[in-house]
Chains A and B, each alone.
Chain A
């Protein structure tokens, strides 16, 4: 696979290093001269210096081939948006991944259809949700393109699903329970699994099914 990485900070450099170790062809673009020189010592011809929002820089890096994947991980959100737009709309790159530095900019990425996106802050918040038990239903993973999401549901003692086998629950169409975590152990859920208070259940569901699932598992 040929991958173009825009932005040679910690994220970009580590992505590049790992992709190379997996045997992929990578070109990394870094704007800052001092950073470029450090990267060049490690990645040699695989790193180029320049502003990845300039079309001639992208062209010099081989965007016209085009790459199988472009990863925009600069520290500037508007740059990441513009790089992804140019790659997709002008150069016909099929897959882009963008980094969101400031989570308040997430809605701009969504508005302009740039996805998938990766946000460290959003990940930390999701982790906090995961660790804080008062949230009954939390989002673990959103697969926007597939229109699917994976959620974790905390079964509490007055949940209507307590004591019921999974095949006795009227789960909404387009949803499925994946696993049950109980007392530190996890099982793959099957139709005979009986839910208990305190269970942490993973579920996969189609977009828009969340309230129905919540109703079946949590609300009376």
Chain B
């Protein structure tokens, strides 16, 4: 199974490594060639330097045959557009897009993109963590 990972920062590189551990053929793309170091010395997948909007680069990365794509650059709008290009132009069945802005995440998820919004997740987790704190009796008001 083949996957392309666009954006090889903290998130993208970890996802790429995990997919390789699960037996996927992975090609990662990042604008910055230093991002390769995040993948570790024993990286067995592919790595290309360039922008996710570059169709030729996506093709070179194997987007034509890929079954899955993860889009996690540091730009929400880039992720939104690249995700749609991978879905519509390259017909990849499973495209997962990271969007940090909860408003855009909700909108594009209603438009049919498969969105992961770490900000929304963090908000829920933080609220849950705060609410589950044990309140010391002397501070409890009611």
Question: A residues within 8 Å of B by Cβ?
Answer: 53-56, 76-79, 81-82, 85-86, 89-90, 104-105, 107-108, 111-112
Interface centre among A53, A55, A78 (most CB of B within 10 A): A78
Let me know if B80 and A104 touch, CB within 8 A: no
CB distance from B63 to the nearest CB of A (A): 14
A78 touches B89 (CB 8 A): no
For chain B, residues 76 to 116, give those with C-beta under 8 angstroms from any C-beta of chain A: 76-78, 80-81, 84-85, 88-89, 101, 103-104, 107, 111
Beyond the given pairs A56-B103, A107-B89, 11 more chain A to chain B contacts, judged by CB atoms under 8 angstroms and listed by A's residue number, are A53-B77, A54-B101, A77-B53, A78-B81, A79-B77, A81-B77, A81-B81, A82-B77, A105-B53, A107-B55, A108-B85
In the complex the two chains form, what is the Cα distance from A186 to B80 in whole Å?
48
Whether the Cβ atoms of B75 and A78 lie closer than 8 Å is yes
Query: Interface residues of B: mostly helix, strand, loop or mixed?
Result: helix
User: For A77, what are the chain B residues with a Cβ–Cβ distance below 8 Å?
Assistant: 53
Tell me the smallest distance from the CB of A112 to a CB of chain B, in Å.
6
Binding site for A on B (CB under 8 A): 53-55, 75-78, 80-81, 84-85, 88-89, 101, 103-104, 107, 111
Specify which chain A residues have a CB less than 8 angstroms from the CB of B78 in the assembled complex.
78
Residues of A within 8 A of B85 (CB): 108, 111
Give chain B residues whose Cβ lies under 8 Å from the Cβ of A108: 53, 81, 85
A residues within 8 A CB of B111?
85, 89
Expressed in whole angstroms, the Cα–Cα distance for A81 and B103 within the complex equals 17
**A-B CB proximity, top 7 nearest:** A78-B77, A55-B103, A82-B77, A78-B81, A78-B78, A81-B81, A79-B77
List the B residue with the shortest CB-CB distance to A89: B111
Total cross-chain contacts (CB, 8 A): 49
Q: How far is the CA of A111 from the CA of B88 in the complex (A)?
A: 8
Do B75 and A111 have beta carbons less than 8 Å apart?
no
Expressed in whole angstroms, the Cα–Cα distance for A112 and B77 within the complex equals 14
List chain B residues, Cβ under 8 A from A54: 101, 103-104
Q: A54-B103, A89-B111 are in contact. Are A78 and B84 (CB under 8 A)?
A: no
Which residue of chain A is the closest to B55 with respect to CB atoms?
A: A107
Complex A-B: 27 CB contacts under 8 Å: A53-B76, A53-B77, A53-B104, A55-B107, A78-B53, A78-B77, A78-B80, A81-B77, A81-B81, A82-B77, A82-B81, A82-B104, A85-B111, A86-B107, A89-B107, A89-B111, A90-B107, A104-B53, A104-B54, A104-B55, A107-B55, A108-B53, A108-B81, A108-B85, A111-B85, A111-B89, A112-B81
CA distance A110 to B80 in the complex (A): 15
With a CB–CB cut-off of 8 A, which chain B residues contact A79? 77
